[in-house]
Amino acid sequence: MRNWFSTINKKLESIEDILLPSLFILTLILSVLQIILRNIFNFGLPWADPLLRSMVLWLGMFGALYATRMNRHISIDIINNYLTPSIKHFIHKLIYLFSAIVCFICSYFSVPFLLMEYEDGTMAFSNIPAWLTESIIPIALLIMGIRFMSFSFARKI
């Protein structure tokens, strides 16, 4: 069981490693292009702004996935200075478990949002449905929940 999980996790990590910098570079290029077109040529690409909004959403979610994978997410460490290592380890496991539960709940409740977008037929840009661009939300939250859960059950953090 652990072998297939490890294989899937490695594939996800390689996809993240490619998509995160690629999305960042594309977002930067498109933003600069839009600024140049508007300020110098007095026009812009009409589909660029909604695409950039979607790209920022995807970039944020992939950034959160990367931070979770590397265990570099936001944390408050003031209590760490006052705890023994064994208590600190136990507290961290509880925090990871709580974070996993929050991610699973948010992922679960983001699915009806996607279904509403699907039923409404809202378009994000250029005949791309909004639900498709927003589909990263439950997927990323589910993956983050799984990662937090695996941190919670890991022997060493």
pLDDT at 1 over 70: no
pLDDT at 3 over 80: no
pLDDT tens string 44-100: 999 999 999 999 999 999 999 999 999 888 777 777 788 888 888 898 899 999 999
The reported pLDDT for the residue numbered 23 is 96
Average confidence score pLDDT of the chain: 91
Q: What is the span of the domain harbouring residue 147?
A: 2-153
Domains in the chain, number? 1
Helix-helix angle 136-153:85-120, to 10 degrees: 160
pLDDT at 129 over 80: yes
The proportion of the chain whose per-residue pLDDT surpasses 70, expressed as a percent, equals 97
